[in-house]
Structure 1
Amino acid sequence: MVLRSNIPPRRLAVGDSGQERSPISGAGDNISSPARALEPSCLAPEGDQLRDAGLPADVVETILSARAPSTRRSYALKWRVFESWCVTHHADPVHCQVVSVLEFLQEKLSSGISPGTLRVYVAAISACHTLIDGVSVGKHPLVARFIRGARRLRPPTRATVPSWDLAIVLEGLSGTPFEPLESAHVRFLTLKMFFLMAITSLKRIGDLQALATSPSCLDFAPGLVKAILHPHPNYLPKVPFSTINPVVLEAFSPPPFTSPEQERLHLLCPVRALQIYVHRTSQWRKSEQLFICYEGRNRGAAATKRIMSHWVRDAIALAYEARGQASPLELRAHSTRGVASSTAIARGAPLQQVCDAAGWSSPHTFIRFYSLDVHATPGSHVLESTSQSHV
């Protein structure tokens, strides 16, 4: 994946920077869809508190729209769990005392919930609960000390080595049943295309979901030497920027081939896979979203982020099976970002350039959450070939 300064970025209009936009979802020709209706059980208490403070209705609506749609859905889910707990314990979820909140959190901690997830529960409760002792639930001294205690009792662990070997996956994707792509089952075509896009772009699933096939969003350079993909104009990334850079895929080992090895490596070219995927799916495509469902009653409709996450795991598992090896345990779709970014850094890519490509707000995010010991993974050098040593 290459970010080029000569590719004009999409700028967010000043008036749009504070608006929430939904990621691409659903079927049909209209790629953008209204933000999903959020559960009133979470938003109503928070909105009531803001209105009780004397704020106008339109101001309240703008404040409620400050969080990303995915965050609002997560809060709504966590709030429903807390509401249900309060009902069984005869407590008012909006006005209960801090002891009730702490009892709820302790029950979740004892059940195996991680301290990180507990913080999401606290944030969701804080958004809807009234102030306790003049402060929000999340800033209450006892709640803050509880979270610190939970982290000390159960410190977070992070794998320093990915559970899967990139070299094995790429080798598996180079043969049957993924090749030849022109005649492979559309399932294997989709899985291979999506994995190559994820591993070479460093993008989040939501960013990949925003890519589209419309002429204004997808352009192949003459000779298929590169492909330029812009997100749909209605897309707002998880980490907002003043500009939204396109994804630029460069062809890998393009023809004419000078050796059988070049021809073999060209099977991993993301531009080639993208061109074949767009051509083959055009006959039954129902949405301009780039990645669409390939089977069932939703065939041709826009794929959801959940489906795309399954695609990454399925691609890794099937690639391992194609090489005659057992699928790795505990596969996570998000691990592609750690593998790709860490390998790029190990091969000399500038840290800030990697962060800009991946959409991280600062290098600290990469170092803390995504940096992996790629040198401990045999064959990780293969990524250098597929990405042309660029970010």
Structure 2
Amino acid sequence: MADTPAEKPRQSSKRKPVKRRFGRVRKLPSGRFQVRYQGPDGIDRPAPQTFATKTDAEVWLTRIEAQILDDEWINPDAGKISFGKYATDWIKERPKLRPRTIELYDYLFRKHLKPTFGDKPLSDIKEPHVRQWRKKLLDDGVSEVTLAKAYRLLKAILSTAVDDQVIKRNPCRIKGAGQEKSPERPVLTVAQVYRIVEVIEPRYRALVLLGTFASLRWGELTGLQRRDLHLDAGTVKVERQLIQITGKGLTFTDPKSAAGKRTVAIPDLITDELKTHLRYFAMDGDDGLIFVGPDNGPLRNTNFNRRVWAKALQDADLPQIHFHDLRHTGNTLAASAGASIRELMARMGHSSTRAALIYQHSTDERQREVARKLDELARGALNTSGTQRARPQNKAH
């Protein structure tokens, strides 16, 4: 009788549970599943929510493990810091911000960001919150220009929070919300500029002319010193500006950008007026301010606008335009005189082409001038080559 093979021992049909190499999943009395895992900081953490099935819990754990391995894990405790605290530190930590920029950021934060987001944890700010905030400000009558500035500040702060791995995604995702659509500023004619010059107080005549024909900002004008004006060479040198800063008063600062330090050529038309001004109204000495008030002190924008500028516009029978519109007028005149984009940038003190392009208007007169020159060029080329204009040929019958 053949030997019968020995029977193999029966294996249990019940499998032993496989221990996860990352994280733990356990079933709660409610029937839902809870997850815990150890973060890269060594702290044992629970998932922010429970899961309906064990599979859902394990999928979530797999994603967290992948984030840790890819160095994309966000510490959930980091996002608990309030937006107000983070934004305040963000403004303080920005390198080389101009005083006026710091003042603007502080205002935008205090007036438009803090009331809505100040006490809110960073991780709790979501896209719907940003949309609702923006709509409320628009409904409250905040100008689109101011709102665009506030939105850009909010987006910049939250972009840094993403870089700092405090939050995973920037909720500022409204297309075009940060773009300013400023209304077109008025452009004066040369005759209108001189109407203002004729009626304004004599000590401010040169201020109006230099603001227009050298395209200078208010702070650049009021910061000019005698040594900056070279009438023999027909130039004015911009090296500083004098601006009002809350809590500090009038302060000398650098121009708005590196390109703001520049030398601007001025037309001979205003030279005699500038000489008269230096003789009778400017401070003495090379460091003396060129434009000062009756008390021989620095000019303040608010006082000038209220006491001098408004009256001059009324006497000249002109609408209530801003003093800054003189610079806009000067830029437009320079563009009409044929200044290139680069020449306009240098004259205006800008490092980008965006602002200069505004003044490259295609006026009807300029279009006609281009057409005349094209006509002359084409006629000259035809005459030189002897080429005749093509004439339609009669079709054979």
TM-score relative to the length of structure 2: 0.54
CA contact (8 A) 1:229 1:246 kept: yes
- Distance between the aligned counterparts of 1:327 and 1:289, measured in 2? 29
Equivalent residue for 1:82, pick from 112, 127, 133: 112
Q: Which amino acid in 2 is paired with 1:354? A: L
Q: Counterpart of 1:336 in 2: which secondary structure? A: helix
CA shift, 1:240, in A, is 1.0
CA shift, 1:139, in A, is 11
- Distance between the aligned counterparts of 2:352 and 2:333, measured in 1? 18
| Residues 21-40 of structure 1: pairs in structure 2 closer than 5 A | none
Residue of structure 2 equivalent to 1:237: 255
Q: Which amino acid in 1 is paired with 2:218? A: I
- RMSD of aligned alpha carbons: 4.4
- Distance between the aligned counterparts of 1:136 and 1:337, measured in 2? 44
- Distance between the aligned counterparts of 2:293 and 2:363, measured in 1? 33
The 1:46/1:137 distance shift into structure 2, 3 A limit, reads: same
- Distance between the aligned counterparts of 2:274 and 2:284, measured in 1? 16
CA contact (8 A) 2:125 2:171 kept: no
Q: Which amino acid in 2 is paired with 1:276? A: T
- Structure 1 residue runs of 5 or longer lacking an equivalent are 1-41, 51-60, 179-187, 253-268, 377-391
Q: Does 1:251 align with 2:268?
A: yes
- Distance between the aligned counterparts of 1:133 and 1:282, measured in 2? 52
Q: Counterpart of 1:156 in 2: which secondary structure? A: coil
Q: Does 1:111 align with 2:145?
A: no
Residue of structure 2 equivalent to 1:156: 181
Q: Which amino acid in 1 is paired with 2:98? A: A
| Residues 183-332 of structure 1: pairs in structure 2 closer than 5 A | 188-213=201-226, 216-221=227-232, 226=234, 228-232=236-240, 235-241=253-259, 244-252=261-269, 269=270, 271-282=271-282, 288-294=288-294, 299-307=295-303, 313-314=309-310, 317-318=313-314, 321-322=315-316, 326-329=317-320, 331-332=321-322
CA contact (8 A) 2:257 2:350 kept: yes
Q: Does 1:343 align with 2:333?
A: yes
Q: Counterpart of 1:360 in 2: which secondary structure? A: coil
Q: Which amino acid in 2 is paired with 1:328? A: P
Q: Which amino acid in 1 is paired with 2:318? A: S
- Distance between the aligned counterparts of 1:107 and 1:136, measured in 2? 29
- Distance between the aligned counterparts of 1:200 and 1:162, measured in 2? 16
The 1:339/1:348 distance shift into structure 2, 3 A limit, reads: same
Count of residues in correspondence between the two structures? 271
| Residues 18-97 of structure 1: pairs in structure 2 closer than 5 A | 45-46=86-87, 48=89, 64-82=94-112, 85-86=115-116, 91-92=119-120, 97=125
Q: Counterpart of 1:144 in 2: which secondary structure? A: coil
Residue of structure 2 equivalent to 1:58: none
The 1:65/1:49 distance shift into structure 2, 3 A limit, reads: closer
The 1:345/1:65 distance shift into structure 2, 3 A limit, reads: same
CA shift, 1:73, in A, is 0.9
- Distance between the aligned counterparts of 2:140 and 2:106, measured in 1? 21
The 1:207/1:372 distance shift into structure 2, 3 A limit, reads: farther
- Distance between the aligned counterparts of 1:107 and 1:199, measured in 2? 39
Give me the identity figure in percent.
15
CA shift, 1:342, in A, is 2.0
Q: Which amino acid in 2 is paired with 1:231? A: E
- Distance between the aligned counterparts of 2:253 and 2:168, measured in 1? 33
Q: Counterpart of 1:246 in 2: which secondary structure? A: strand
Q: Does 1:124 align with 2:153?
A: yes
CA shift, 1:284, in A, is 9.6
Q: Counterpart of 1:247 in 2: which secondary structure? A: strand
Larger relative strand fraction: 2
Q: Counterpart of 1:65 in 2: which secondary structure? A: coil
CA contact (8 A) 1:76 1:124 kept: no
CA shift, 1:229, in A, is 4.0
CA shift, 1:148, in A, is 2.9
Equivalent residue for 2:345, pick from 345, 355, 361: 355
CA contact (8 A) 1:93 1:129 kept: no
Q: Which amino acid in 1 is paired with 2:210? A: M
Which is greater in Rg? 2
C-alpha deviations, 1:200-220, integer Å up to 9, x for none?
Answer: 11122232233113xx43444
- Distance between the aligned counterparts of 2:206 and 2:281, measured in 1? 12
The 1:306/1:365 distance shift into structure 2, 3 A limit, reads: same
- Structure 2 residue runs of 5 or longer lacking an equivalent are 1-82, 242-251, 366-397
CA contact (8 A) 2:105 2:153 kept: yes
C-alpha deviations, 1:107-127, integer Å up to 9, x for none?
Answer: 112223344322311343456
Q: Which amino acid in 2 is paired with 1:168? A: Q
- Distance between the aligned counterparts of 1:157 and 1:97, measured in 2? 29
- Distance between the aligned counterparts of 2:172 and 2:164, measured in 1? 11
